[in-house]
């Protein structure tokens, strides 16, 4: 071999050795981090619907993060239809899922299908919404849902300065789908702050509808919330110059948007007199409504954080490591307390949305401002 050729050969050989070494190093890193670098570990991800913005984000985040860790992901959306979610889960189990990650449409409707998962020792992670009345749920990852409600109640309390006023201030209430166990945290969380003011007459509900089932919104749908708000407006002439309305406590953004639409259609205009409307999720439409002055606040639950927590849970399960939890006493699913990892929600208003959502990389300026 000529000297020059020999030199090139040696450089190439060295490069191959370095590359092989690096590849082995990566494998090691992937194995300790995920135990699934070869894609053999299958994760079924069942999301409720593509209709609401957040579940699209949740699904996309989970797929991306799980794939990065080397898992094989089967992501399905169930069009807010329980039988569809059940059959998608059956298919995932049939296809050999090693873990199921589920945001249930109806927390009470999965007992039977999850009995099959349990019989096959497939761990189940309840995502965002607790799955009720089954011993198949292994872990739960969510935000502190009672705190979400408290934040909404506190916002209304402080905006109306309820402790220092005699009122009456007029308020209506909207929560979410009766099948979603989360409303049993959101709504009581808000009421833990507002009920004393209803009791002493500082707050008054013109419709008298303050019971969780009376104020529930099927499917968390914007249209259903809008229709109910239109009925409430008609019932008591809640229009500018008519019966006063100071606040509408909405458990999330999709319901808040329906309420905003109904109020705008009834002649309310953005400004100091626009009723205080609460929300949750920081949906793009609701952020725009905050900027326009037709929604006062939202609660930011960073779906990237929730997805990352769940991906860590899946990795720990795949590796046989201990799963990180921080709550064992609050989330009882009718059978037992489910080991839970809770993340913190954050109040979002006009004052901090830019920092939270745009500087924080959650949305681009173009997504918010168009």
Give the interface with ligand GAL as residue ranges (CB under 6 A).
Answer: 52, 54, 128-129, 176, 180, 182, 220, 252, 254, 280-281, 301
Residue 86 beta carbon to ligand GAL: minimum distance, rounded to whole angstroms: 18
For ligand GAL, the closer of residues 54 and 69 by Cβ is 54
Q: Which two tokens stand for residue 3?
A: 């000297």
For ligand GAL, the closer of residues 268 and 331 by Cβ is 331
Angstrom distances, CA of residue 122 to CA of 108, 118, 119, 177: 19, 6, 8, 28
For ligand GAL, the closer of residues 80 and 294 by Cβ is 80
Residue 129 beta carbon to ligand GAL: minimum distance, rounded to whole angstroms: 5
Residue 281 beta carbon to ligand GAL: minimum distance, rounded to whole angstroms: 5
Residue 174 beta carbon to ligand GAL: minimum distance, rounded to whole angstroms: 12
Element (H, E) at 309: helix 303-319
Residue 111 beta carbon to ligand GAL: minimum distance, rounded to whole angstroms: 19
For ligand GAL, the closer of residues 176 and 206 by Cβ is 176
Residue 245 beta carbon to ligand GAL: minimum distance, rounded to whole angstroms: 24
Asked if residues 148 and 345 have their Cβ atoms less than 8 Å apart, the reply is yes
Q: Which residue from 75, 117, 119 is spatially nearest to 99, judged by alpha carbons? A: 117
Asked if residues 358 and 365 have their Cβ atoms less than 8 Å apart, the reply is yes
Q: Where are the beta strands (DSSP E) in 64-104?
A: 72-77, 99-102
For ligand GAL, the closer of residues 254 and 295 by Cβ is 254
For ligand GAL, the closer of residues 145 and 294 by Cβ is 145
Torsion over CA of 356, 358, 359 and 361, rounded to 10 degrees?
A: 100
List all residues 6 or more positions away from 25 whose beta carbon is below 8 Å from its beta carbon.
none
């Amino acid at each position: 071999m000529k000297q020059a050729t020999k030199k090139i050969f040696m450089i190439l050989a060295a490069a191959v050795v370095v590359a092989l070494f690096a590849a082995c190093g990566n494998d090691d890193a992937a194995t300790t981090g995920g135990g699934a670098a070869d894609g053999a570990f299958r994760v079924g991800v069942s999301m409720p619907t593509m209709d609401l913005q957040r579940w699209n984000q949740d699904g996309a985040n989970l797929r991306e993060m799980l794939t990065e860790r080397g898992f094989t992901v089967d992501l399905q959306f169930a069009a807010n239809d329980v039988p569809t979610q059940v059959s998608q889960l059956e298919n995932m189990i049939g296809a050999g899922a090693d873990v199921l990650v589920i945001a249930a449409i109806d927390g009470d409707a999965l007992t039977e299908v999850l009995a099959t998962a349990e019989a096959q020792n497939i761990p189940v992670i309840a995502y965002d919404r607790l799955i009720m009345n089954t011993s198949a749920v292994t872990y739960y990852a969510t935000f502190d849902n009672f705190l979400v409600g408290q934040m909404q109640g506190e916002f209304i309390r402080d905006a109306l300065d309820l402790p220092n006023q005699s009122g009456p201030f007029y308020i209506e209430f909207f929560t979410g789908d009766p099948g979603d166990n989360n409303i049993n945290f959101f709504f009581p969380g808000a009421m833990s702050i507002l009920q004393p003011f209803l009791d002493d007459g500082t707050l008054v509900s013109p419709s008298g509808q303050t019971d969780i089932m009376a104020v529930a919104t099927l499917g968390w749908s914007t249209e259903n919330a809008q229709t109910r708000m239109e009925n409430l407006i008609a019932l008591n002439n809640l229009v500018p110059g008519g019966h006063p309305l100071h606040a509408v406590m909405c458990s999330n953004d999709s319901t808040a948007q329906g309420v905003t639409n109904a109020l705008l259609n009834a002649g309310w205009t953005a400004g100091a007199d626009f009723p205080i409307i609460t929300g949750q999720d920081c949906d793009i439409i609701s952020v725009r409504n905050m900027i326009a002055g037709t929604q006062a606040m939202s609660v930011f639950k960073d779906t990237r954080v929730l997805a990352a927590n769940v991906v860590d849970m899946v990795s720990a399960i795949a590796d046989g490591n201990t799963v990180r939890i921080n709550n064992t006493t609050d989330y009882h699913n009718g059978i037992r307390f489910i080991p839970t990892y809770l993340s913190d929600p954050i109040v979002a208003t006009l004052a901090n949305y830019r920092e939270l959502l745009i500087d924080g990389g959650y949305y681009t300026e173009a997504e918010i401002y168009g």
